[in-house]
Structure formats: structure tokens, C-alpha cells
Amino acid sequence: MENKDTQKIRKEVFQKLGLNEVEKGIFSGSWIKGTSEKIIKSKSPIDGTDLSSINAASEDNYKSVVKTSRRAYEEWSEVPAPKRGEFIKKVSTALEDAKRDLGLIVSLEVGKVITEGQGEIQEMIDVGHYATGLSRQLFGLTIASERPNHRMFEQWLPVGPVGVITAFNFPSAVWSWNSFIAAVCGDSVIWKPSSKAALTAIAVTKIVASVMEKESIPPIFSTICGGGAEIGDLISKDQSIPIVSFTGSVATGRKISKNVAERFGRSILELGGNNGVIISSKADENIAMKGLLFGALATAGQRCTTTRRAIVDSAIYKRFVSQLKDSYSNVKIGNPLENGTLVGPLIDEDAVKKYQKTIAEAQNQGGKILFGGNVIKIKGLEGGFYVEPTIIEANGKVKISEEETFAPILYVFKYDTIEEAIRIHNSVPQGLSSAIFTNDIREEEAFLCSTGSDCGIANVNTSTAGAEIGGAFGGEKNTGGGRESGSDAWKGYMRRQTVSKNYGKTLPLSQNVEFKLS
């Protein structure tokens, strides 16, 4: 049964964002009803109620979306980049105007607590501002030529439609990391959102579509909701999509990247994380505790950047872990729309099962539950998917701690030396985010040097989660090696062309080669 407060918010937000109980699942210049047999059910993990039914796309739908996107690309790629940036600025403003309501849709559909739902939309707005500035900074290098009267330089050119496949946990921000950057680079974008967060994608697309229409921009942003793996599979095999950005599991990422590599396309992968923090006896323990709590519990442990492993100095282990348990016991779990809640629901029943399976397996392998471990029912939200945040003492023997489970399960380890801490830290297959809490410059540098953290993101005295958009986001090893959002990640959405130009009256050759007719 739907909770009354949730129902009130749903009705209000649906009305303001123009959302319906039955939605067309495709935007490609206009809204199109998907013609596959599948219906995507958008459900709220808060209380299990249905939010919307969405007609999923068929292969025919996919083909027509690609055609439209290709045509839009051809027009868009000729628009000067700063003009493209001006359009993205308008998109950001429209998102800013709708921030509250969009954030609430994120909370309703994926269960984020209010501040995190709002943060998700803020992340899109931030990327929009960044992309607008970037649109005037898509620069190449000038290189000294060895030949007289020659000029050599690089230029960066658009590539075509970019396929963006996103996960439920950042249902709109990750799309914007890719799409706003790709758009200022002159590409068009085909978005395949997670079927667990299709309504958020539709709500965001409605806003973006209205700006495209108002500004008479060709449909550079398309959205295609699929009911399973088919649409992602089609994107990965499609020669006309030169770049595919995929966020999701290692297993699916492996399939997608094989398909893309087979046709010499480029993939940008953001796969699993199994992020560790080292907590030294030389840390400010107050800061370390706050950073650990946010990292382990935000988004109910369903971020790629979630802290899953705490590696604690044996000198403070007992005290710190006992304080951690106290902190966990003060965390409010429940309705994410209620003030004060820190941990909302998991996304669905399947996620709850994985949580239970992982905990059982960890115990079988000798892990000791120090806190939590149970599925809980919240009064008035009986259809929701709530679990207790869990702490498991692992200390070397719990193999399953090497896997990423999208749930609030934190493994704790004890270490004696900083070298041992780093070894434990780097001993997992994933390499996304990492952190050390210490005020000792030697420990900090040991973590940041070449034999330190092997992750794409390394933090000192702050959490593994909550990266800013200005940095390049992504990781090494099984995380897939992709980089998105800030820094020079834009280069991933363009092709580099090295230009050599002869403005002399002769044709000197490089490497002193003589090539003359005798």
C-alpha cells in the first residue's frame, strides 16, 4: 500500500513535471511509444508502489532513433563549439528551475534521501556549467616541425552519435557527465537509461527536449528505454555509434567492451568499485569517522564510490571500531523523503537478496558480523526494501570482500604498518576510488606515490564517495579504465587529427629522406 506522504509528493511532482502513469519510452525529436512487447514498470523502492508503466523500445525503434541522431549530429557538428556551449547553459538553467521536483523524482524512483536526490540534479547543473566553459577551451597543441616552412598542430573534431548506457544509482548525473561534454564536443547522444530508473530519464529528457525545441536545436539528445539488455547490446554492436559509454557491472562491461572492440569502436567504461579507506592512528579521528560514515552509508551503499572496506591501524582498531558501531546505531534508516533519514531503501527485492547472500557467504568464510546484518520492515512502508547497514570483521579471510555488492556492507581490516595497509588496500580486482585518513605527510605520500593507491581516484582526509565534477572520474583494473566528466575527459568524445601544413615553395621530407626522380 502506498504511504500517504509519499503519495502526496508523487502527485505533486508528477503534475509539475508533466509525468503520467503511462509513458512513452522513447524521445527522438518527438515522443514515440516503444513497440516491443515489454512494459517497464517504474516502482518506488520506498514502499513498492507503481510509479509509471513505460513502453519499452524494439529493435525497429532503435534503428529509427539512430537515424535521427545521426542526422542531428551532421547538423550539430557544424555549429561553433561556443554556440553549442550556450545551448548547454540553457539546459542547465532549465534543470536548475526544476531541481527540487527532479530531485524528488530521483528520491521516489531510486530511494535517495532528499539531500542526495537534490545533489544528483546539482551534479547535472554543475556539469552543464563546466561544459559551457569548456566549449571555449577545446584546444589542440602546436608542435615544432623539423621541416622548414611547415606548421604542425593537432585539432579535435566531433565523432558522431555517442551511446550512453547508465545505471540506476546515478540515474541522471552520469548521463550529464557524458552528454553535456559530448554535446559541446559536437556529438549527438543516444541515452539508454537503466530500466530501474526509466522515469527519472523521461523526466530529465522532457526538460531537455523542451529547451531543444525552444532553441530550434536538432534532436542531439535522444532517449531510448529498453526492457533488458537488448538495446545496450544493439548499441555496442552498431558501427554507426563510434563511442559507447557504459556504467554498470564488470560482467556486462566486459560484454559491451568486447562488442565495441570487435568493430574498433571506443568504449568508456565505469564499472565496479570496491573502495577502501586506510584509517591511521595519526588521523583526525573525528574527520575519519565522518568520512567513513558518508562513504559507507550514502545512497544506502549503492554508489560505485561507496566505501566497502575500512583498513584500520591496530593501535586504534578496538576503540575506532567500537565508536563506528555506536555511530551506526544512531543512523536513521527509513523513508528517504523524511527529514533526518540517512539510509533509504535498496533499489529492489533482488538487491535485498544479494545483501542477504553476501552476508551469509561472508559468515561462512569466517567473517564476524559486528553490526546489523538483517532485512528490516519499516512501519507504513511494508512494500519497501530496507536493510540494516552492516559491519563485518574480515581480516584477510573473507574472500567475498573482494567483490562489489551494491548494499551497505562494510568490511573492516586491521593493519600494523602502512605498507601492509596499502597491500590490503590494493588486493582487490577493482580500482575506482580510495582514501587515507592521516595527518602524517609520509603516510600520505606513501599512499599517493607509484606504489600507493592503485585507483583512479585517491583522497586524503576525505571520503571515497562524493567526487567533484571538475576532476576526471573513473578507475583502473576491473573498473574499466574510462574517464568521464572533468579535466581532459572531453578528449574521449572527439577524434584527434594531427595536421602538417607546408607553406613553402619546395617539398622537404621528414627524417632527411631524399626522394628524387633520377
Chain residues binding ligand UN1 by CB under 6 A are: 123, 169-170, 174, 247, 303-305, 465-467
Are 376 and 386 spatial neighbours (Cβ–Cβ below 8 Å)?
Answer: yes
In the set 270, 404, 444, 484, the catalytic residue is 270
- Shortest distance in whole angstroms from residue 176 CB to ligand UN1: 11
Residues 6 or more apart whose Cβ sits within 8 Å of residue 61: 26, 32, 34, 35, 36, 224
52 vs 267 by CB, closer to ligand UN1: 267
Residues 6 or more apart whose Cβ sits within 8 Å of residue 454: 426, 431, 476, 477
- Residue 373 C-alpha cell reads as 546484518
- Shortest distance in whole angstroms from residue 66 CB to ligand UN1: 26
Distance CA 161, CA 229 (A): 20
- Shortest distance in whole angstroms from residue 457 CB to ligand UN1: 8
- Shortest distance in whole angstroms from residue 128 CB to ligand UN1: 15
Strands 386-387 and 375-376 turn out to be antiparallel
Distance CA 332, CA 377 (A): 13
* Closest to 354 (Cα-Cα) out of 306, 405, 411: 405
Amino acid at 22: V
123 vs 233 by CB, closer to ligand UN1: 123
* Closest to 199 (Cα-Cα) out of 102, 278, 123: 102
- Give the phi and the psi of residue 81 in degrees, each rounded to 5: -55, -45
Q: Which residues partner with 501 through β-bridges?
A: 151
In the set 23, 116, 225, 304, the catalytic residue is 304
- Shortest distance in whole angstroms from residue 192 CB to ligand UN1: 16
108 vs 467 by CB, closer to ligand UN1: 467
68 vs 479 by CB, closer to ligand UN1: 479
Q: Which residues partner with 499 through β-bridges?
A: 153
- Shortest distance in whole angstroms from residue 307 CB to ligand UN1: 10
> Which H or E run contains 203?
helix 198-214
- Shortest distance in whole angstroms from residue 473 CB to ligand UN1: 7
Distance CA 367, CA 392 (A): 6
Question: Could you tell me the strand order of the sheet in which 150-158 lies?
Answer: 142-143, 150-158, 494-502
Residues 6 or more apart whose Cβ sits within 8 Å of residue 298: 116, 306, 465, 466
Are 2 and 21 spatial neighbours (Cβ–Cβ below 8 Å)?
Answer: no
132 vs 433 by CB, closer to ligand UN1: 433
248 vs 372 by CB, closer to ligand UN1: 248
- Shortest distance in whole angstroms from residue 406 CB to ligand UN1: 10
Catalytic-residue membership of 304: yes
287 vs 375 by CB, closer to ligand UN1: 287
Catalytic-residue membership of 449: no
62 vs 406 by CB, closer to ligand UN1: 406
For residue 6, give the 3-state DSSP assignment. Answer: helix
Are 158 and 182 spatial neighbours (Cβ–Cβ below 8 Å)?
Answer: no
Strands 221-224 and 31-32 turn out to be unpaired
Return the active site residues.
270, 304
